[in-house]
A and B are shown apart, each in its own frame.
Chain A
Amino acid sequence: MNTHRTNWHVDDEDLAAYGTGSLASVPATSVEAHLMGCQGCRERLARTGQPQDIEDAWLTLADAVDRPSTGPLGRFTGRHNLLRSSIATPTMVAAALAGIVLVVAVPLAAAVVAGDAALVALLVGAPLAPVAAAGLAYRDWADPAGEISLATASAGLPLVAKRAVLVSVGALLAAGISLLVVSTWVAAPAALFFSWCLPGLALSALVMLAGTTRLDPLRVALGLGLTWAAAVVAGSWAPRSLRPEAVLHLLATPALQAAALSVVVVSLFATVARRDLVSYRRTA
């Protein structure tokens, strides 16, 4: 490196302008060449207006580092607070996806395994999955911020419902796709594989309704689930007409589906009407 000494030094004004990047390019080149060989001017440069620059640089860097979330998903959810409060981070996305996969995988796996008895048993038991999910959605530990969330303005039914709808919409899409896949190699009417959906929704809607009462939704979910399981088990010991196959076909009848649908509609209406009691009246 050139270490020659010279009598000419950069004056304060130019040095300051160089430091802030506002010096014209020709004098800037000259100042730069001089700085290469003059330690005194380099030290003076370090003292001129630099701290603010460094501060700015750090702030810019910190801004970039602290940006709420990165990546396409983060940018998307950052703009949409509905999503941000439900699937803001990879972990929450994973939880939502797990919910969707569970709902769809149960009948799909059963169809692939294709053992008749196992298939019907799984299908008959399938409504328990969404019921358990609905019950768990009310636990304070189901939220990343625990009980802190309960005291925020968004707490209550809107938040619980937002998450339920998000999973349901995803599940419906996935169900439609898997329906097409399954129907290519299973002879049974495809509708049979999804006949458990409405009863499952009906039980889940009852759990949501329980969330507006003093009852603990998880206990209600357990109660409903156990009743359902007991009915299924009892059915497998009963005369031929009540065996799981028969239960499954019974589930698929329009009358039962219509009944389940009306339970869904009535429960959801009642829940919406009583929405202000969610997360307030509970004793938990």
Chain B
Amino acid sequence: MTILTSVASLEIDELTKTYGRTKALDGVSLSAGRGVIGLLGPNGAGKTTLLRMVATVLAPDSGSLRLLGLDPADPGQRIEIRRRLGYLPQSPGLYANFTPFDLVDYVAVLKEHTDRDWRRDETRRLLESVGLADVMHQKIRRLSGGMKQRVALAAAMVGSPDLLVLDEPANGLDPDQRLQLRSLLSQSSTVLMSTHNISEVGALCQSVYVMFSGRVRFAGTPAELAGLAVGRVWEDDSQDPRAIRSWMTATGAFRHLGEPPAGAQVVDPTLDDGYLFLARQEHR
């Protein structure tokens, strides 16, 4: 038996993918072990394309992936990966005439769980853990957007997968449910999730990758992302034209990003500041 702990859960090397003239992925490399990995970036940065490749539903034009030490390009190993994988797509498209119970049970069948009793217990456990115990026998069409999102999340987590791939998992969840998501995610050994919400990265992720235009522009911890803007954020009562980016905060003061002028009141950067600084660099 080989020592599995030394194997990185995700080894992604120089992935490319082109749709027509658009380069969705332009040489993406990424390496990660256990833990929750966040994927940040604007719309169209290639996050969903990358996640679909990690979820084994899309093959790259070039480059290689190793997931849980296995190669998804090899049919046999791909099935092995899928046995240990959970996937929440961006728009799950659940069948509205199913109940949450039917749907999660059905996904469990597709995941080769043949024992009915096991499936029933697992389905109930998951729907309870996402807070849908009360509505598990109602038609999905009658559920709210956030509830549908949680049905799909429960389906993704059938069989406690070793690798969870989640495209915008917190979409439609209220703050309380986001907290629950955090404890749910801690049950899987490796989670790769994309998000628009930067504060989510700080709350959930041990490491973060930032993508722009099909490339990874930052890899590190959330603290390191915030650290990019150290000494480059200051606050003032009025807007400062010297700043590369300015916006009004909730207190009415102006927050500025850039090279602070002499005597400026420099403040500690947040994750947002780090991300905005990176985005600014990208667009220059």
Question: CB within 8 Å of B: which residues of A?
Answer: 62-63, 65-69, 78-79, 81, 84-85, 88-89, 91, 140-141, 143-155, 159, 276, 279-283
Contact = CB atoms under 8 A, between A and B. Distances in A.
A88 B109 contact: yes
A169 B137 CA distance: 32
A153 B59 contact: no
B119 interface: yes
Given A146-B94, A150-B55, 8 more contacts: A89-B102, A145-B103, A148-B92, A149-B107, A150-B57, A151-B55, A154-B109, A280-B56
Given A145-B92, A148-B87, A148-B107, A153 B116 contact: no
Interface residues of B, number: 46
A254 B170 CA distance: 60
Nearest to A149: B110
Contact of A85 (B87, B92, B109): B109
A147 B105 CA distance: 16
B57 A283 contact: no
Contacts of B245: none
B63 to A, nearest CB: 15
A24 B156 CA distance: 51
Interface in B22-80: 55-59, 72, 75, 78-79
B115 to A, nearest CB: 10
Contacts of A141: 93
Given A88-B102, A144-B98, A148-B156, A276 B110 contact: no
Given A66-B124, A91-B97, A148 B78 contact: no
A149 B110 CA distance: 7
Contacts of A65: 137
A16 B107 CA distance: 45
Contacts of A147: 57, 87, 89, 91-93
A281 B95 contact: no
A153 B92 contact: no
Interface string B188-200: 0000000000000
A276 B89 contact: no
B155 A153 contact: no
A258 to B, nearest CB: 33
A148 B57 CA distance: 9
B101 interface: yes
Provide the main secondary structure of the chain A interface.
Answer: helix
A81 B114 contact: yes
B107 A145 contact: yes
Given A65-B137, A68-B120, A280-B57, A154 B94 contact: no
Nearest to B101: A66
16 contacts: A68-B120, A78-B116, A85-B110, A143-B95, A144-B103, A145-B92, A145-B107, A146-B94, A147-B57, A148-B87, A148-B92, A151-B87, A155-B82, A159-B110, A280-B56, A283-B58
A153 B102 contact: no
A12 B103 CA distance: 48
A281 B59 contact: yes
B85 interface: yes
A126 B281 CA distance: 60
Interface in B186-222: none
A284 to B, nearest CB: 9
Contact of B120 (A66, A88, A91, A282): A66
A153 B82 contact: yes
Contacts of B55: 150-151
A58 to B, nearest CB: 13
B106 interface: yes
B111 interface: yes
B88 interface: yes
Given A81-B109, A140-B93, A280-B78, A151 B57 contact: yes
A79 B57 CA distance: 29
A153 B156 contact: no
Contact of B116 (A62, A68, A146, A280): A68
A249 to B, nearest CB: 43
Contacts of B56: 151, 280
A215 B114 CA distance: 33
A92 B280 CA distance: 51
B150 to A, nearest CB: 13
A11 to B, nearest CB: 40
B112 interface: yes
Nearest to B114: A81
